[in-house]
Amino acid sequence: MIKFLKLYEKFGIFFFILAGGIFLSSASPNFLQIDTLLNIIAQGTYAAIVGFGMTFAITSGGFDLSVESVMSLVSVFLAILIPLIGIPGAIVIALIIGSCVGIINGTIIAKLKVNPLITTLAMMTIIKGVALLVAGGRQIVIHEKVFMELGTGKLLGVPTPIFIMLFFFLIFYFVLYHTPFGRHVSAVGSNERASKISGIDVDMVTIGVYTLVAFTSGIAGTIRTSQALIGIPTMSPGFVLVAITVTVLGGTSLSGGRGNLWGTLFAGIFISMIYYGLNLLGVQIYYQMLSVGLVLIFALFIDGVRRRYLEVAKAKGIKV
Residue 86 pLDDT: 92
* pTM score: 0.89
Q: How confident is the model at residue 312 (pLDDT cuts 50, 70, 90)?
A: low
Residue 24 lies in a domain: yes
Residue 253 pLDDT: 80
**pLDDT tens-place string over residues 240-252:** 888 888 898 888 8
Question: Where would I find the beta strands (DSSP E) of the chain?
Answer: 140-141, 154-155, 158-159, 230-231
Residue 80 lies in a domain: yes
Residue 169 lies in a domain: yes
Residue 96 pLDDT: 96
Residue 155 lies in a domain: yes
Residue 127 pLDDT: 95
Residue 315 pLDDT: 62
Query: How many domains does the structure of the chain reveal?
Result: 1
Of residues 86 and 5, the one with the higher pLDDT is: 86
Residue 64 lies in a domain: yes
Q: Domain of 148?
A: 2-315
Q: Facing residues of 141 across strands? A: 230
Q: Indicate the SS3 state at residue 13.
A: helix
299, 178, 311, 177: which is closest to 243 by C-alpha?
A: 299
Asked which of 109-118, 229-238, 295-304, 308-317 is least confident by mean pLDDT, the reply is 308-317
Residue 55 pLDDT: 94
Residue 320 lies in a domain: no
Residue 121 lies in a domain: yes
Across residues 86-100, what is the average pLDDT?
A: 95
Instruction: For residue 152, count other CB atoms closer than 10 A to its CB.
Output: 16
Across residues 309-314, what is the average pLDDT?
A: 63
Q: What is the CATH number of the domain that holds 20?
A: 1.10.3470
